[in-house]
Amino acid sequence: MTAVAETAAHADEHGHDEGHAHPSDATYWKVGAFLAVLTALEVSTIWWPENVLTSITLIVMMIIKFATVAAFFMHLRFDSKILQNLLLVGIIMAIACYAAMGGALNFWDQGGNQLINDAPRDQPLPPAPTDPPAIIRESGPSH
């Protein structure tokens, strides 16, 4: 009973379901400062050259910010893995589905790669065939 009471009191202190470790307020300030610095860095990219490297850096910074808020502010780092997995399922499915949709809608190849999609509007379509293909010609006219 004492063990139960002790753990109960412990849970009581945190007034919280799991009674896991909580970052202190000081840690939260540090995380906040880190995020602010990162945001400032992101904003500074308006003066960086406009190329793929900048875009990739921005995306990396975005992912880091996302992960930091999720891990610390949303407490995922200290919680059961189930919660993390629920979020990850959503994120991964969203990225996969929408990236594939983008592929089918010519997003990844704005130049009009005709393997992925039909040519975009400002390029002509390949000419329509005028003669029936050989195999149909050979088999003779249909009834």
Residues contributing to the site for another protein (CB under 8 A): 4-5, 7-9, 11-12, 14-19, 22, 25, 28-29, 32, 35-36, 39, 42-43, 45-46, 50, 54-55, 58-59, 61-62, 65-66, 69-70, 72-75, 79-80, 82-83, 86-87, 89-91, 93-98, 100-105, 107, 110, 113-118, 121
Q: How far apart are CB 142 and another protein at their closest, in Å?
A: 12
Q: How far apart are CB 137 and another protein at their closest, in Å?
A: 19
Residue number, 60 or 137, with CB nearest to another protein: 60
Round to whole Å and give the CA distance between 10 and 8. Answer: 5
Task: Tell me how far CA of residue 143 lies from CA of 52, 131, 137, 138, 139, in angstroms.
Answer: 58, 19, 14, 14, 11
Task: Tell me how far CA of residue 23 lies from CA of 19, 102, 110, in angstroms.
Answer: 12, 40, 46
Round to whole Å and give the CA distance between 92 and 39. Answer: 24
